[in-house]
Amino acid sequence: MAEGSRPAEVRVPAPQGLTIDATLVAQGLLNGVLFGGVFSLMAVGLTLIFGVMRVVNFAHGDMMVWGMYLAWLMATRAGLDPYLGFVVCAAALFGLGFAVQRTLVQRIVDAPHEMQILLMLGVALVLENTALLVFGPEPQRVRSALAQSTVWLGPLFVDVARLIAFGVAALLAVLLWLFLFRTDLGRSIRAAADNAYGALVIGTDVRRVYAVAFGVGAACVGAAGALVSPLLPFQPPTGLQLSVASFNIVIIGGMGSLVGAFVGGVLVAVAESLGAVFLRPSLKELVSFSLLVLILLFRPAGIFGRRAP
């Protein structure tokens, strides 16, 4: 390659020269599954917000970054481990979500789609740059005692931190399911999601329900942020990549479906991980986007979604 000039041939992505053996593939699979749990947690909050309100929350990733910064604050100032502190993050973001919904989103529920998008873009800008002002631009990561260890299954390694995040994500998904299907408030939320007019007719305070739904979705995102904060370095612009990943997962898994968010997260992470095994890793996101396109075309409701667009 000559200095400073571009080579004439197009380099087609090709498998690496190393031997791709069963161990590598198995490890890739395992990495994907575990990281998928983490991804799922992000998506659960979004699926609730969109499933109920049909609002495209472009500020989703930025809300999660704030959850991560809050976890970092608590870890550095109060010495609170994020695996315990995530409750506080969830509560704080519930408040943020509730407030955003009541003051902003509620007013544009019936507005044209482009206005909804514009609103959430504005919120995203404000969240990202307030984080920049307050916390500065350097990437941070939370140190947690639990996040340092690994467990070995023969030649395969398991990252304990991801295992825990996966477990807590599953637990939260179960709790959320219980909330939505076994409590009155949860049932109201689902009713409002399915048929807002009908819910109004039977006397549901739809506005309060929406605010709670948004708040709960934001709380999930806050918890996700806290649980992910030892795993993923974050800085104010990280919000965008998290938003895009979350949308991918929610569409693939199925909008409005908790199981879908979970399975979608695992699926996307596994797809990217295997993409990194078989291709140049810098192309791995291509796999998840291609998967997204295929789902959009052939099963837009997603794997577990019930409602077609």
Partner 1 sequence: MTRVAVVAAVIVLVALPLAPSLFGSYAVTLFTLIFFYAFLGQAWNIVGGYAGQLSAGHAAFLGIGAYTAAVLSVEKGLTPWIGMFVGGALAALLGALVGFLGFRFGLRGFYFVLLTVAFAEICRIVASNTEAIGGAVGYYITFTGDPRQLQFQDARAYYYLALVLMLAVTALVGVLERGRFGVYLSAIREDESASEALGVDTFRYKMLAMVLSSFLTGIGGAFYAFYVFSLQPASVFGIPLSVEIIIRAIVGGAGTVLGPILGSFILSPLAELARYYFAQSGWHGAHLVVYGLLLIAVVLFLPEGAYPRLARLVRRRVAGAA
Partner 2 sequence: MTQHALTRRTFLTTTVGGAALVAAPRVLRAQPKSFKIAAVHPVTGPLAEPGQACRLGAQLAVEAVNAAGGVKGKGGLQLELLTGDTQSKPENGRLESERLVNQGAQMLMGSFDSGSTAAMVSVAQQKRVPFLIDIAAADPITANVAKAVKDGQQKLQYVYRNFPTGSSFGRKAVQYFTEIFAEAKLTPKRVVLMYCNDLFGVNQSRGFLAAYKAAKPAWTLLEDDVIPWPEPPSDLSTEVSKLKALRPDVIAPITRPASAQLLLPEIRKQRVEYLGIVGPGSPGLYEAGQIAVLKDDLEYVMASNPWPNFRNPKTQRLAEDYQKRSNGRLFDTNSGYSYDAIFIIADVLERAAKLDDPDAIVEALQKTHYTGGLMQYGGPIHFNEVGDNPNAIPTMIQVLKSKPVAVWPKEAALQKFVFPRPKA
Q: For partner 2, which is the closer residue by CB, 3 or 184?
A: 3
Q: For partner 1, what does the binding mask look like between residues 242 and 261, x meaning CB under 8 A?
A: --x--xx--x----------
Angle between helices 60-77 and 206-228 (to 10 degrees): 50
Q: For partner 1, which is the closer residue by CB, 223 or 251?
A: 251
> How many CB atoms are closer than 10 A to CB 279?
16
Q: Does 16 bind partner 1 (CB under 8 A)?
A: no
C-alpha closest to that of 99 among 188, 214, 222: 214
CB of 47 to partner 1, least distance (A): 12
C-alpha to C-alpha distance for 49 and 193, rounded to whole angstroms: 10
By CB under 8 A, which span of 96-104, 115-123, 185-193, 278-286 interacts with partner 2? 278-286
- Which residue among 112, 152, 197, 202 contacts partner 1 (CB under 8 A)? 112
Q: Does 8 bind partner 2 (CB under 8 A)?
A: no
Q: Does 35 bind partner 2 (CB under 8 A)?
A: yes
What phi-psi label fits residue 291: left (phi over 0), alpha (psi between -120 and 50 degrees) or beta?
alpha
Q: Which helix (H) or strand (E) holds 151?
A: strand 150-153
- b/e per residue 244-275 (b: at least 16 CB within 10 A): bbbbbbbbbbbbbbbebbbbbbbbbbbbbbbb
Binding residues for partner 2, per CB under 8 A?
1-4, 16-19, 21, 23-24, 27-28, 31-32, 35, 39, 129, 132, 136-141, 143, 150, 157, 159, 232-238, 241-242, 245, 269, 272-273, 276-277, 280-285
